[in-house]
Structure 1
Amino acid sequence: MSKKENPVHSLIAGATAGAIEALATYPAEFAKTRSQFGGKREPPLDVIRNTLKTHGVRGLYSGCTALMYGNALKAAVRFVSYDHFKHLLADKEGKVSPARSLVAGLGAGVMEALFAVTPSETIKTKLIDDAKSPNPKYRGLLHGTVSIVKEEGIRGVYRGLFPVMMRQGANSAVRFTTYTTLKQFVQSTARPGQQLPTSITFGIGAIAGLVTVYTTMPLDVIKTRMQSLSAQSQYRNSFHCAYRIFTEEGLLRFWAGTTPRLVRLMLSGGIVFTIYEKIMLALKVV
């Protein structure tokens, strides 16, 4: 059986990596989210250009604090859960097959959706949706969160839970399986005990992000629509949302925002896995 990672180390490394990744890639997340709302389709670069022109850099980072806190918690839950499930599913030699890594990643995705992603993503999405109004009603993360809870109750920040669980489960399953499989392959060609260079770790993480984007994009679009300010008046549930997008806007609309999400998840995969591995290594030395 493989040696189980220290949960505290996984928590610290995951939270730090998640917060740094969110801050570094937020403009791409902002553009992706805006391009997924209903109505006139606006190219990602136009979204960024027009936002900077009308609201400045501060407008481009609307909802960033919610994503940073949520991403830190999400990454912490993701890595702790994945390390736990991977330990349970590893063979006697400590190796995890692609199929078992898929199951471990799926479990980690469901955990992060329940405990971190849904509330932070819902608040972030509503703040971004509100920011494009001439007279935004939310003054920031705290005011927005309190207002949403007052208006809609706890269900307001857990709107879109089902598509978030599906997206996060698929995200983590695909990302961890791709990353673990590629990492094990690269390590098998290296000398025993040799640490992978940072560039290789970043590259493997970026490839994992690329694969994740194209396989999970429809779930991301449905999630964004279900968490928008107009969701209650437009969609009965996630399936009704998917049906309306398909019949009214066409199949390709499920891949709206692919380019900025691709940029973000490739950078995200590289940043998160690289920082996580480096912090875990440093903590083991300490």
Structure 2
Amino acid sequence: MPESLLTSIVAGSSAAVFQTTISYPFEFLKTGLQLHRSLPRVAPFNMMHQIKFYFSGCAALNVGTLLKTATRFTTFEKACVLMKDPESPNKAIGGPRLLVAGIITGFMESLLVIPFENIKTTMIENALILSERATKELEAKSKNTGKPTSDVRPTFHKISNRSLHPREKLYLHYEKYPSSHFLASVKEIYVTRGVRGFVQGTTPTIIRQMSNSAVRFTTYTSLKQLIAPTKPLNEYYAFALGVVSSAAVVAVTQPIDVIKTRMQSKYAWKTYKSSLNCAYRIFVEEGFFSFWKGWAPRLMKVGLSGGVSFGVYQYVENLMTLIQQESKLGHE
């Protein structure tokens, strides 16, 4: 494996888990806001939860992020080499070639991240259910009723005397006892929705991921070439450029992200027929501005994670380059 490729993997992976974990509460709020349907007679989304709930789904996203980050930097480097002008192999790529390299990177990322995005979304939905029940129990105790308010959720069928299909029984079981951990959530998805439950929202996820990478890497690399075209970039500048490129990502891709989250919901199959139907119903039932639900926490999360990711990546890359140079000098 080439040293530059190994450097990319080490640098990217070092930043991945750190930035995902510290920024995850914003991901939780963003996903919760996007899952909440703005319909008449529906209470506003509750932003206040116990601390433990804000990290529900973090493990799933960390696993996906590790795979995504390794793919992101290695694929982007290879894509840049592939897209170089044969007549000017030493010239840095730009314009349409840089955009295509970003799109290729996003497509490869999405293939790995889709199952973990579905697990994360299910874990967040379950956490919201459990948080709502915990709040009702506290309210019931404060009123000295001794009994929590019943939590009645709509089901996909009317109660009848017919015998239930095993999957229906499991669905009702998990409605009553939502899973709260990574492996339990994986089991819940598999037994209630099958393998299909891990690939929900594939189309909007691929479109979002390709758009994310195209916008992020095009913005970041263009600004990097403008600021430091011939020398390594300082890690502080890398952090700032990461924040700016991430803000551009949110500005361009937020509607796609809302559709993706809705299509990955455990209730999507009984609410939306397809991604296009989802977009249509959001527009008609909830209004145009609902496509921008969760933009503020997503901006905080993506901006922080993008800045930290690129900043740590650049720091580790510069450090490893310095070590390699000193090692070469020591052998001479």
Same fold, judged at TM 0.5 (above): yes
Residue ranges of structure 1 left out of the alignment (5+ in a row): none
Instruction: Give the aligned residue type for 2:121.
Output: T
Counterparts of 2:125 and 2:78, CA distance in 1: 37
Residue ranges of structure 2 left out of the alignment (5+ in a row): 134-175, 325-332
Matched, 1:108 2:149: no
Seen in structure 2, the aligned counterparts of structure 1 residues 14 and 147 have a Cα distance that, compared at 3 Å, is same
Q: Give % identity.
A: 38
Match of 1:146 in 2: 187
Residues 224-246 of structure 1: CA deviation (Å, up to 9, x unaligned): 00011110101111111111111
Residues 239-284 of structure 1: CA deviation (Å, up to 9, x unaligned): 1111111111111110000001011111111111111122223334
Pick one of 35, 56, 63 that aligns with 1:62.
56
Match of 1:231 in 2: 268
**Equivalent residue of 2:17, what SS?**
helix
Deviation at 1:41, TM superposition (A): 7.1
Counterparts of 1:78 and 1:127, CA distance in 2: 25
Counterparts of 2:198 and 2:62, CA distance in 1: 16
Instruction: Give the aligned residue type for 1:250.
Output: G
Pick one of 225, 230, 237 that aligns with 1:184.
225
Residues 111-130 of structure 1: CA deviation (Å, up to 9, x unaligned): 01012x11111110111011
**Equivalent residue of 1:90, what SS?**
coil
**Rg larger in 1 or in 2?**
2
Counterparts of 1:75 and 1:120, CA distance in 2: 14
Deviation at 1:136, TM superposition (A): 4.9
Matched length: 270
Deviation at 1:98, TM superposition (A): 2.7
Match of 2:125 in 1: 129
Match of 2:83 in 1: 89
- Which residues of 2 match residues 237-276 of structure 1 at below 5 A? 237-276=274-313
Q: Is this contact kept in 1: 2:234–2:314, CA < 8 A?
A: no
Output the aligned Cα RMSD: 1.7
Counterparts of 1:5 and 1:213, CA distance in 2: 33
Matched, 1:161 2:202: yes
Instruction: Give the aligned residue type for 2:14.
Output: T
Counterparts of 2:270 and 2:289, CA distance in 1: 24
Q: Is this contact kept in 2: 1:19–1:68, CA < 8 A?
A: yes
TM-score if structure 1 supplies the norm length?
0.89
Pick one of 114, 118, 121 that aligns with 1:118.
114
Pick one of 19, 22, 35 that aligns with 1:21.
19
Instruction: Identify, as 1 or 2, the structure richer in helix.
Output: 1
Seen in structure 2, the aligned counterparts of structure 1 residues 83 and 253 have a Cα distance that, compared at 3 Å, is same
**Equivalent residue of 1:6, what SS?**
helix
**Equivalent residue of 1:163, what SS?**
helix
